[in-house]
Amino acid sequence: MSARDAIASLLAPVAATLVVCTSLGAAAGIKVTAELDRNHVSLGQRAMLTVTVQGSQDAGNPDLGDMQGMQVLSAGRSTNVSIVNGSMTVVVSDRFVITPIKEGKLTIGPITVPVGGTKYSAGTLELDVSPGGNSNSAQGQGRGRAGPVQQEQVGNEGGSPVFVTARVSNNNPFQGEQVIYTFRFYRAVRVAGADLAMPEFDGFVSEDLGKQRDYQTVIKGRTYLVSEIRKALFPQEVGKVTIKAAKLTVKVAVRDRRRRRGNPFDDFFNDDFFNSPIDDFFGGTRLQTKVLSTGPVEMDVKPLPSEPRDFSGLVGDFGLKASLSKNEIKLGDSATLTLVVKGTGDVRAIPDPWRNTLDDFKVYPDKPTVRINRNGSRISGSKIFREALVPLKAGRLQVPRIYYKFFDPGAGQFKVASVGPFDINVLPSKGKEELKLTEVVSPLGGKVAVKVLGTDILPIHEGLNGLESQAVDISSLIPALFGIFLSPMVFLIVLLGRKRSRRLEEDKALRRRKSALSNAKKNLYVAARMASKGEKDKSLEMVSRTIKEYLGDMLNTGGGALTAYEADTILRELAVPGEKVKPVVGLLSELEGILYGGGTPGDSAQDAPKRALKAIKRLHRHLAKLGGKRR
């Protein structure tokens, strides 16, 4: 990950990518994905394509297929190796900058990746290109990132170095219609320690719409980093509805001319790399807390037209499929009816299927399965119903037509999706099963003899031979007495163990601290092996990431985006002695200079894992005593 990417993802709650296509390889453990950071751009803008192979380091160069109407520029390859609980995960990612040169829906792919002599497919992606003016697409190509730059007009909001906005895709929807709520955080300066308070969305059913994403945009000639969060909202009330303001508390870097010069990190952050796309900070910086608010969002929700009979309550666009496992069964057997309702809308609200009663069948429904797709521009998915149908008589029976009546807000009218009817041929069984315990031997008038066919009581012992001495042998009681006293001790040990396990499960921060040092040791061992094999860059990346993740685990924060400057600030605020801070922060600063500042690894790669382990161990003794305290 480049330095600019690290700065763009300083906010742990606001960093993500949009996954639009996933494919599993035929071989176990190989997973191939293709990702676009956006699926809609204007002509002249760019999108970032990432092709990822998980489970093997032997991945060849991706084949993107016929890229008509697009220019493609490789943005490099990265390899990520992580070890969790002794299990190693390898992820290889290739990035491409896609620049469309014509309008319309453009198809990327089919995308294939050769791995170990076998080609794996990630399918195809679509990029929607709309007309646009001069997007100044050359901006944002600093040496730290080859990411896309998006032009955008946000009125007077673009005058501030940091601001937030909230929008909805439709201010006048129908009741139950899907509306997309979008929160964006714009910043043209460095920030840290963000705390986002989203509104409660009273009067709506709310669903998260994919992961958050980061990108760049230009507003009035100024470049901003943007973090975007989207939610799918389904209004439940008719009339005027207000979504309360979202508030973001964030620490913003501001110039501090009074700051004493000589800090070893000042020169690093005054490098011209950090002056684009963010402001320069010559003279030093300090963090100032700001509270940003979006303001409320007003909506006017329309009622649905007069509802038809058997209206399912669904609002959106839905389709219906059904299948029957068998068309011919014997009386007493069962057939499985599978019903799939798929579409765009509130998938969780899909009710049971509508149909006439099944008088000729006994129905045993299974629990429905809900599958939700959050990786598109809207919430979509399916709900699967399964029923076991047991016929009550032989002959040609029929499962009646199944249907859903739903309201399509795009068309502004009610529609019907239906399947069936289904015919089932039920064959008579060969014989009847009866439970008999007795049988009449002589079916004549008067008294009859009865033959016993089965018994459910064991034989009764008769006579004195059935009795045994009941005298108690004292020696036989010793194991019992031992068990009586041992049981409470075992119970107490188990109880304490379960209490500790439950505490670890409930306290995520505690779990992170408990495993921080062991995870760091494992990752540094992998980094040392990489260095011994001559993979210097990969080794240094692993060491840098390990230090950041260790600090994040111990301080219960998002460590992946920490810089050396921030680590130094946080540790000193926690009153950690300088002799324990300096080795960790100094090494992290040295690694940043090599990885992001154009330095040469040299001999640093060989001893970096060892130095990191020694520094982390010294720091760990102090941080463990703090118990995870944070600023």
**Rounded average pLDDT over 321-345:** 91
- Same-domain pairing of 621 and 514: yes
Query: What per-residue confidence (pLDDT) applies to 135?
Result: 35
Question: Alpha carbon of 174 to those of 145, 167, 205, 444: distances in Å?
Answer: 42, 17, 14, 80
CB-facing half-sphere around the CA of 488: CA atoms within 13 A: 4
Mean pLDDT, rounded, of the chain: 76
Asked whether residue 58 falls in the same domain as residue 181, the answer is no
Whether residue 336 sits in one domain with residue 282:
no
Residue 491 to residues 38, 181, 415, 453, Cα–Cα distance (Å): 56, 52, 62, 49
Co-location of 260 and 322 in the same domain: no
User: Which pair of structure tokens corresponds to residue 471?
Assistant: 């005298």
Asked whether residue 113 is domain-assigned, the answer is: yes
Q: Return the pLDDT at 603.
A: 57
Determine, yes or no, domain membership for 446: no
Q: Does residue 328 share a domain with residue 286?
A: no
Average pLDDT score over residue span 402-426: 92
- Whether residues 294 and 324 fall in one domain: no
Answer with the one of 282, 303, 324 that is the final residue of a domain: 303
pLDDT tens sequence across 540-557: 888 888 998 888 888 877
Mean pLDDT of 220-244: 91
Q: Quote the number of domains for the chain.
A: 4
* pLDDT at residue 73 in the model: 79
Q: Which of 135, 169, 202 is the last residue of a domain?
A: 135
pLDDT digits (tens, 9 = 90+) for 431-476: 544 444 444 444 444 444 545 544 445 555 555 555 555 555 566 6
Res. 415 pLDDT band, cuts 50 70 90: very high
Tell me which residue range forms the domain holding 327. 307-427
Sheet with 247-255, side-by-side order of all strands: 191-197, 247-255, 285-293
Point out the least confidently predicted range of 44-48, 214-218, 280-284, 595-599. Answer: 280-284
The reply to whether 159 and 294 lie within a common domain is: yes
Residue 363 CB coordination number (10 Å): 13
Q: What is the DSSP letter of 540?
A: H
Residue 412: CB atoms within 10 A of its CB come to 9
CA distance 624 to 240: 53
The answer to whether residue 442 is domain-embedded is no
Is residue 13 a contact partner of residue 248, using CB atoms and an 8 Å limit? no
Residues 382 and 283 occupy one common structural domain = no
Residue 126 lies in a domain: yes
107-150: pLDDT as tens digits: 998 999 999 888 888 888 988 888 754 333 333 333 333 333 33
Do 51 and 15 belong together in one domain? yes
Residues 597, 556 within the same domain: yes
Which pLDDT belongs to residue 178? 95
Lowest mean pLDDT among 30-44, 77-91, 138-152, 479-493: 138-152
pTM here? 0.45
CA distance 299 to 181: 11
For the chain, the distance separating the N- and C-terminal CA atoms, rounded to the nearest angstrom, is 27
Q: 82, 100, 135: which is the final residue of a domain?
A: 135
Calculate what percentage of the chain has a pLDDT beyond 90. 25
pLDDT at 328: 93
**In this structure, how many other beta carbons lie within 10 angstroms of the beta carbon of residue 392?**
12
Query: In the beta sheet, which residues pair with residue 73?
Result: 97
Q: Are strands 40-42 and 118-130 parallel, antiparallel or unpaired?
A: parallel
**294 in Cβ contact with 356 (< 8 Å):** no
